[in-house]
Amino acid sequence: MPSCRNCGTDLGQSDNFCSNCATPQNDEASRRLDEYIDRRARQIGGGVGSGSSDGTLRSRLQYALGYLGVVAGLATLTDVAGVFFLLAGIFVLPPVQAAIESRLGRPIGVRPTAATTTVLFVAGAAAFAIV
What pLDDT is stored for residue 84 in this prediction? 92
| CA proximity to 50, closest of 88, 11, 99 | 99
- Cα separation, 85 vs 122, in Å, equals 9
What pLDDT is stored for residue 101 in this prediction? 86
Is 87 a residue whose pLDDT tops 90?
A: yes
What pLDDT is stored for residue 51 in this prediction? 42
Q: Are 97 and 62 in contact (CB under 8 A)?
A: yes
Is 47 a residue whose pLDDT tops 50?
A: no
- Cα separation, 70 vs 76, in Å, equals 10
Mean pLDDT for the stretch of residues 72-95: 90
Is 49 a residue whose pLDDT tops 50?
A: no
| CA proximity to 109, closest of 45, 48, 43, 55 | 48
Tell me: the pLDDT tens digits for 111-125?
888 899 999 999 999
Q: At what angle do helices 57-75 and 80-92 cross, to 10 degrees?
A: 160
What pLDDT is stored for residue 119 in this prediction? 94
Q: Domain coordinates of the chain in residue numbers?
A: 1-45, 57-130
Is 131 a residue whose pLDDT tops 80?
A: no
Q: At what angle do helices 80-92 and 94-104 cross, to 10 degrees?
A: 70
What pLDDT is stored for residue 39 in this prediction? 82
